[in-house]
Structure 1
Amino acid sequence: MLPVNILLLYLPSEQTPMQSSFTKQCPRCHKGFICNPSNIAACQCSGISFTEAEKKFIAKQNYHDCLCIHCLKELKQIAEEQKGD
């Protein structure tokens, strides 16, 4: 299984990896956010880390594109809460 940060780099077919940054729509909340695949350190998704269990939980949600930082944080929290169940 790929790490979540790598999974987040999948680009829709109309996007190209050469673009420095662009607005994407989060498939979970449908809000727009800036994606910056050419400078991943400046991308919003690089500001969060995940345990292996959290990565597996997010992967099971079957999102096929980048998620916004708000949704990533929510899913991380849900995964942490379910770990205790």
Structure 2
Amino acid sequence: MKTPAEYLDAPLLYLTYPTGEEAEQVPVVSYDDALRAVETALADAEKYKYLLMRALRRSVPGGLAESAVEAAIRPLYPDMAA
């Protein structure tokens, strides 16, 4: 998995005074680059979620997974059921 900084593949800029000295030690990232990094991170998270869920489904014994699907669902308030 990547660290948050690895999603930013754009050059980082530093704020400077007119004299050329650095005003802050915090890098400045453009809005578009930050948005692209967030979208990439979300896409990776979906991929990791899919892989994790697939691994979990494969690791569950067959009888356990089937019984959960076939369980009957009863209404909490039977008088209000339409």
TM bucket (normalised to shorter chain) is 0.3 to 0.5
Q: Which fold has the larger relative contact order, with Cα–Cα distance below 8 Å and residues 6 or more apart in sequence? A: 1
Which has the larger helix fraction?
2
TM-score when scaled to structure 1?
A: 0.32
Question: Which structure: larger Rg?
Answer: 2
Which has the larger strand fraction?
2
